[in-house]
């Protein structure tokens, strides 16, 4: 059951989809005053326990921001004007707020509205309840973000590639945007939005939406305007500000980054247009106009973030040989799985990430060939099996796709269960029904659910209605309910190709018997092959063997960050002292959570050898890391958690 008419929404969405932007520099789509209001799901499983909003009573459907970025105060401040839809008898609207400093709340005509910030929950922040008069349809909030807002990372000039200008970027997923935008921060409450962003003259602001006007610079300030006419979950509102330049990659794609990085970034991203073409063949039309990317400074805590029209990327994927660009296929695939059909709550996170991980391999197959894809499936299965072990074994509750996150942070669901068990599930269905039938279903899924929140039960119902269609043999064979609700990996898993890494697996066995691949063999291997080798070795190697590998292939300082990380992981497990300088350097040059968290955690839990190293490195690294990375690592008790100065690097 839905509160708003699906027919009205679809009609307006089709109008939006028809207007495609072809301009090279991210120019405006025409403002669409009739933009549809996306539905709110009313079933109990769509209730978002990570938001204070009660959208069935009153919900935001459009956000208009007018904000000034103040690098000195490390604050963003200004107004947010919210257009709301509400039941006639609703007495208040509840927003999500984490640390915002609210100056005033008024209605559309400037009349003050009473508001109250409720008690603060460590994960969720506070409810911001605003009293509604019977005719209130618009709310204006004057506010500032707090200096420690978790969505924002403020970088000093020294922390940038160019060293001259400061830098700011935001990271909204999962529930961080409530630290800088006062709205209903729930993935099931889709909102269109627009923004006017004022930055110090000379800096460039980019956002996850097309520009709606040319930038203007006057009076020491540059003003940028953006408008997203499609409704999006609010975690996808994102911004970066810095000394940014743009380089086109193709007719509908390009890259923003600091000037010093631009050539290397553009070269690494040369396959982007081919990936967009492959993704459209798989998933249906790309509905966001342009696909641009911004390559951020190395403290960006993730590999990538699928902000619409503007994927955010770590610079650590730049290897010089395009060998880590499945990351782009992944973030691009979210333009459908995640951004068109969005997990209604974080318990359904696997619908975003599992489907995207499945599609990543399909895009990789189209662009780089079936062998590379089969190898990535095999690496995915290894990661899935490791995630089962890490999450309590085959009966661990967190090995279920549909999660129970009651009383927990949505980040607890950020494991390879969502990504790799989710992908393995979809691949199992593909293999069972055949690619042709599965692909027809997949395209249909997005045309049936575009610009809508989706739940696991919607997924199951859709697959039964449109793929299984009453075939009871197929129903039994697929074991859908077991896949989504039970822990562990069902027996019908479509296996990875056991021959995908035949040569490498042979070398792993030989290594156990004392042999080591020659430097020529190592050089010939692809990045995925090197990763299979390093991750399949026994965890605790004698240090002499690590020394021999490092000497032969230069692993502790490998230019490929995934390879380097895989070796450093072995080095920490084996207490391999000669790698420590390289390890320290790696932990200080980038803050990608996937790399720094396991390494620092492994060091910290080795009380005699590792912990002193962890303490020493973390004291220096912590000021360089993003708040989300720090929040995890502070739990290790290595010190540094008390200062309010976490964002100032010295």
CB nearer to ligand BES: pick between 152 and 414: 414
How many residues contact ligand BES, by CB under 6 A? Answer: 14
- Extract the tokens encoding 371: 């062998």
Q: How far is the CB of 330 from ligand BES (least distance, A)?
A: 4
- Which one of the spans 51-59, 102-110, 330-338, 550-558 is the region binding ligand BES (CB under 6 A)? 330-338
Sign of the CA dihedral with 155 first, then 156, 158, and 161 last: positive
- Candidate list 185, 258, 292, 306; residue touching ligand BES; CB under 6 A: 306
CB nearer to Zn ion: pick between 95 and 355: 355
- Candidate list 125, 304, 380, 610; residue touching ligand BES; CB under 6 A: 304
The reply on whether position 414 binds ligand BES by CB under 6 A is yes
Q: How far is the CB of 356 from Zn ion (least distance, A)?
A: 5
CB nearer to ligand BES: pick between 150 and 430: 150
Q: Which residues are part of the catalytic machinery?
A: 331, 419
The reply on whether position 302 binds ligand BES by CB under 6 A is yes
CB nearer to Zn ion: pick between 77 and 303: 303
DSSP labels, 537-595: S-SS--HHHHHHHHHHH--TT-SSHHHHHHHHHHHHHTT-GGGHHHHHHHHHH---HHH
Which of positions 343-382 make contact with ligand BES (CB under 6 A)? 353
The reply on whether position 594 binds ligand BES by CB under 6 A is yes
Torsions phi, psi for 47 (to 5 deg): -75, 125
CB nearer to ligand BES: pick between 50 and 225: 50
Cα torsion 302, 555, 525, 523 to 10°: value is 130
209 close to 193: Cβ distance less than 8 angstroms: yes
Tokens 């995908």 locate to 500
CB nearer to Zn ion: pick between 160 and 335: 335
Q: How far apart are CA 92 and CA 130, in angstroms?
A: 5
CB nearer to ligand BES: pick between 304 and 487: 304
Sheet with 204-207: strands ordered across: 152-155, 167-170, 239-242, 204-207
| Secondary-structure breakdown of the chain: helix, strand, coil percentages, each rounded to the nearest 5 | 40, 20, 40
> Alpha helices, DSSP H only, in 108-228?
none
Q: How far is the CB of 296 from ligand BES (least distance, A)?
A: 12
User: Between the CA of residue 323 and those of 131, 430, 563, what are the distances in Å?
Assistant: 54, 26, 11
Is the omega angle on the peptide bond into residue 231 within 30 degrees of 0, that is, cis? no
CB nearer to Zn ion: pick between 299 and 356: 356
- Extract the tokens encoding 546: 């690590």
Q: Which does 174 bind (CB under 5 to 8 A by kind): ligand BES, Zn ion, none?
A: ligand BES
Which of positions 443-472 make contact with Zn ion (CB under 5 A)? none
- Candidate list 61, 330, 421, 532; residue touching ligand BES; CB under 6 A: 330
Q: How far is the CB of 302 from ligand BES (least distance, A)?
A: 3
The site string for Zn ion over 333-372 (x = CB under 5 A, - otherwise) reads --------------------x--x----------------
Q: How far apart are CA 348 and CA 460, in angstroms?
A: 12
Q: How far apart are CA 40 and CA 46, in angstroms?
A: 9
Q: How far is the CB of 26 from ligand BES (least distance, A)?
A: 21
Q: Which does 348 bind (CB under 5 to 8 A by kind): ligand BES, Zn ion, none?
A: none
Q: Which does 530 bind (CB under 5 to 8 A by kind): ligand BES, Zn ion, none?
A: none
As beta bridge partners, residue 141 has 80, 105
- Candidate list 305, 366, 378, 563; residue touching ligand BES; CB under 6 A: 305
Q: How far apart are CA 16 and CA 576, in angstroms?
A: 57
The CA radius of gyration of the chain, in Å to the nearest whole number, is 24
Q: Which does 327 bind (CB under 5 to 8 A by kind): ligand BES, Zn ion, none?
A: ligand BES
Which of positions 143-202 make contact with ligand BES (CB under 6 A)? 173-174
DSSP labels, 237-263: --EEEES-EEEEEETTEEEEE-GGGHH
- Which residues of the shown chain bind Zn ion in the complex (CB under 5 A)? 353, 356
- Which residues of the shown chain bind ligand BES in the complex (CB under 6 A)? 173-174, 302-306, 327, 330-331, 334, 353, 414, 594
């Amino acid at each position: 059951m839905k509160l708003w008419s699906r027919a009205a929404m679809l009609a307006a969405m089709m109008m939006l989809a028809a207007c495609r932007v072809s301009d090279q520099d991210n120019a405006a789509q025409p403002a669409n005053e009739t933009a549809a209001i996306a539905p709110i799901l009313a079933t109990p499983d769509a209730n978002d326990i990570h938001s204070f909003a009660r959208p069935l009573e009153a919900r935001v459907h459009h956000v208009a921001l007018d904000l000034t970025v103040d690098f000195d105060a490390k604050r963003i401040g200004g107004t947010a004007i919210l257009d709301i839809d509400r039941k006639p008898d609703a007495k208040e609207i509840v927003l999500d707020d984490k640390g915002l400093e609210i100056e005033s709340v008024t209605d559309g005509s400037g009349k003050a509205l009473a508001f109250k910030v409720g008690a603060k929950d460590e994960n969720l922040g506070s409810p911001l309840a605003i009293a509604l008069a019977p005719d209130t349809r618009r709310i204006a909030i004057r506010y500032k973000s707090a200096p420690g807002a978790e969505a924002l990372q403020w970088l000093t000039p020294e922390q940038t590639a160019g060293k001259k200008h400061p830098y700011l970027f935001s990271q909204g997923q999962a529930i961080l945007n409530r630290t800088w935008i006062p709205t209903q921060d729930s993935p099931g409450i889709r909102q269109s939005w627009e923004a006017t962003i004022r930055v110090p003259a000379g800096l460039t602001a980019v956002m996850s939406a097309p520009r709606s006007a040319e930038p203007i610079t006057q009076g020491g300030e540059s003003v940028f305007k953006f408008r997203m006419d499609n409704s999006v979950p609010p975690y996808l509102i994102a911004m970066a500000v810095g000394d940014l330049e743009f380089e086109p990659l193709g007719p509908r794609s390009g890259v923003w980054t600091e000037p010093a990085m631009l050539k290397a970034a553009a070269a690494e991203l040369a396959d982007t247009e081919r990936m967009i073409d492959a993704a459209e063949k798989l998933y249906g039309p790309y509905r966001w106009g342009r696909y641009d990317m911004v390559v951020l400074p190395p403290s960006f805590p993730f590999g990538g973030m699928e902000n619409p029209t503007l994927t955010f990327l770590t610079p650590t994927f730049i290897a010089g040989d395009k060998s880590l660009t499945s990351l782009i296929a992944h973030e691009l695939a979210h333009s459908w799985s995640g951004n068109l059909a969005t997990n209604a709550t974080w318990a359904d996170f696997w619908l975003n990430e599992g489907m995207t991980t499945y599609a990543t391999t399909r895009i990789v197959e189209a662009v780089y060939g079936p062998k590379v894809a089969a190898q990535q499936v095999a690496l995915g299965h290894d990661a899935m099996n490791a995630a089962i072990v890490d999450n309590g074994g085959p009966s661990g509750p967190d090995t279920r796709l549909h999660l129970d996150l009651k009383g927990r942070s949505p980040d607890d669901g950020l494991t390879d269960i969502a990504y790799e068990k989710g992908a393995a599930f979809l691949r199992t269905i593909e293999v069972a029904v055949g690619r042709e039938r599965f692909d027809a279903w997949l395209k249909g899924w997005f045309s049936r659910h575009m610009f809508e929140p989706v739940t696991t039960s919607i997924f199951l119902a859709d697959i039964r209605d449109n793929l299984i269609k009453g075939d009871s043999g197929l129903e039994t064979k697929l074991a859908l309910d077991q896949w989504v609700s039970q822990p562990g990996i069902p027996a019908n898993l479509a296996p990875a190709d056991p021959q995908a890494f035949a040569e490498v697996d042979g070398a792993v066995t030989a290594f156990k018997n004392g042999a080591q691949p020659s430097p020529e063999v190592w050089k010939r291997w692809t990045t995925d092959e090197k990763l299979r080798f390093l991750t399949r070795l026994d965890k605790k190697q004698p240090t002499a063997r690590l020394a021999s590998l490092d000497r032969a292939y230069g692993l502790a300082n490998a230019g490929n960050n995934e390879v380097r990380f895989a070796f450093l992981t072995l080095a920490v497990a084996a207490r391999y002292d000669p790698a420590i300088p390289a390890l320290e350097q790696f932990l200080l040059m980038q803050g990608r959570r996937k790399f720094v968290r396991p390494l620092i955690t492994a060091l910290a839990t080795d009380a005699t050898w590792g912990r002193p190293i962890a303490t020493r490195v973390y004291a220096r690294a912590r000021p360089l890391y993003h708040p989300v990375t720090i929040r995890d690592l502070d739990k290790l008790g290595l010190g540094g958690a008390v200062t309010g100065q976490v964002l100032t690097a010295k």
